[in-house]
Amino acid sequence: MIAVALAFWISVALILYTHLGYPVALRALLALRRRPTLSPRTWQEPPRVSLIVAAHDEEQVIGEKVANGLALDYPRQRLELIVASDGSSDATVERAQAAGADLVLDLPRGGKSATQNAAAERASGELLAFSDANSSWAPDALRHLVEPFADPGVGYVCGQVRFVKKGGDNVEGSYWRYEMAVREMESALGGVTAGNGAIYAVRASSYLPLPPSGSHDLSFPFLLAKRGQRSLYVPWARAEEKMVPTLRGEVARKQRMMRGLWDIVVGEGMLRPRGYSPLYAFEIASHRLLRYLTPLLHVLAFALNPLLLGDGWIYALTFAAQLSFYGAALLGRWLAWPPLRAVHYYVLTTASIAGGLVDRARHGPPAAWEKAEGTR
C-alpha cells in the first residue's frame, strides 16, 4: 500500500501546488529576484502597426470594432487596420469596408489560425496587433501595448481584458482576476505562459504561422521563449469584452479551446524544455502542464483514497473532504451562494480539459471556430 499512498499524496500535493502553491512561489521569487519588467528604452517614433481582426459572421459587431480601432490614440499614418473574414456568410465584409478598414480580406473558410496567417502575410506593420471582433480597446491601449517592443528582446505582449458581465450565472470573472495576477508575476520573471485573444501583439519578424489546431494565446509565448524572446503582460493596455453569460456556455467554450491542447503541448513542443530558461521551464511546468494534468490528478486522488481508508484517520478525513467538495460542486448547480458556485465552476472547467481531449480523440484536431454564445 506504500505505492498507493505515495501516488495519492503526490496527486493531492500537485493539485494544491498548481493552484495555490505556485502563486506563492512566484511571489517569493519576485522578492528574491527584482528586475525591471520593461526595458527603459523607448521608440524614437511610434512603430508602424497592423491591427488584425479575424472574423467569422460578425456583421453585428464588426462596424463598431473597426470604428474602435480607428479611434485609438495612435498616429493614423502609422496604423493599418485589417479585417480578415473567415468565409463569412453574412455582411461582415461589406460592413467592415463601409466602416473604413484599410484592408478587408474575404477568405475561404479555413479556421482562425489560417485566417490570421493570411492577414499576417498581407500586413505591412513591423508589429502585428490582434483583437477579437467583439473586443473594445481603451483609447490608449495600443500605445501601451507597443511600448515594451522598444526592447529588442521582447517578442510578444498581451494586455488586460476585462470581462463585462450582463446577467447569467458565469463566474469566470473571479477566476480571471486570479489568472491575471499570476500572469503579472510571471511577466516580471521569466515571461507569461499564455496570453488572451482580446488584445495582444507580436513582432512581424517573430510571427509564426500556426496549424489549424494552434492558438496564438498558448503557442506564441512558449515558442518565442525557445527563440530567446520574452512574452510580457502589460495590464495598463486595456480592453473589454462581453462575458459568456452562462456557465454552461463558458464550459463549452473552454472545451472547444482544449480540443487543440494535445497538438500544442506535444505536437508544437510545449512539453519539450529545450530552449527554455530554467525559470521559464518552471513556469510552464507549474502553470501549464500541471494545470492540464489536474483532471487526471483529481481522478487518481478520488479513486485511490478508498483503498487507504484502513490505514489511519487521515484517510477518512481526506475522503470526507473530497466527498464534501464534490457535493458542494453539485449543490452549486442550483444554489447561488458564491462559494458553492465557485466550486461548481472549478469542477466543470477542470472537466472541460478532459472533455477537450476526448473530443480531440474522437473528431481530430479543431479547424473551424465558433463564436461563444451571448458575447455579441
Domain assignment present for residue 186? The answer is yes
How far apart are alpha carbons 157 and 231 in whole angstroms?
6
The CATH number of the domain where 80 resides is what? 3.90.550.10
How far apart are alpha carbons 343 and 349 in whole angstroms?
10
Q: Is the pLDDT of residue 376 over 50?
A: no
* HEC letters along 39-72: CCCCCCCCCCEEEEEEECCCCCCHHHHHHHHHCC
How far apart are alpha carbons 225 and 208 in whole angstroms?
13
Residue 202, domain extent? 49-244
Of residues 33 and 183, more confidence is placed in 183
- Percent of the residues in the chain that have a pLDDT greater than 90, as a whole number: 71
Q: Residues 335, 336, 342, 344: what is their CA dihedral angle, to the nearest 10 degrees? A: 30
Domain assignment present for residue 354? The answer is no
Note the helical H segments in the chain.
2-16, 22-32, 62-70, 92-99, 112-122, 141-146, 172-187, 216-225, 247-258, 261-262, 278-283, 290-304, 313-331, 338-363
Mean pLDDT of the chain: 90
- What are 203's strand-pairing partners? 127
Of residues 37 and 199, more confidence is placed in 199
pTM value is: 0.90
Q: Is the pLDDT of residue 298 over 60?
A: yes
How many Cα atoms sit within 13 Å of 148 on the Cβ side?
Answer: 28
23: which 3 cell numbers?
A: 502563486
Residues 303-333 have pLDDT tens digits of 999 999 988 899 999 999 999 999 999 998 8
How far apart are alpha carbons 10 and 301 in whole angstroms?
9
Which residue type, as a one-letter code, is found at position 262?
Answer: W
Number of domains making up the chain? 1
Check residue 205 and give its pLDDT: 96
How far apart are alpha carbons 269 and 287 in whole angstroms?
16
Tell me the three state secondary structure of residue 135. Answer: strand
Buried b (16+ CB within 10 A) or exposed e, 148-161: bbebeebbbbbbbb
Residues 317, 259: contact at Cβ < 8 Å?
no
Residues 224-265 have pLDDT tens digits of 999 999 999 999 999 998 877 677 877 888 888 888 888 888
Domain assignment present for residue 352? The answer is no
Domain assignment present for residue 332? The answer is no
Q: What is the pLDDT confidence band of residue 142, given thresholds at 50, 70 and 90? A: very high
Average pLDDT of span 15-40:
84
Domain assignment present for residue 194? The answer is yes
Residue 176: other Cβ atoms inside 10 A: 16
Q: Is the pLDDT of residue 361 over 90?
A: no
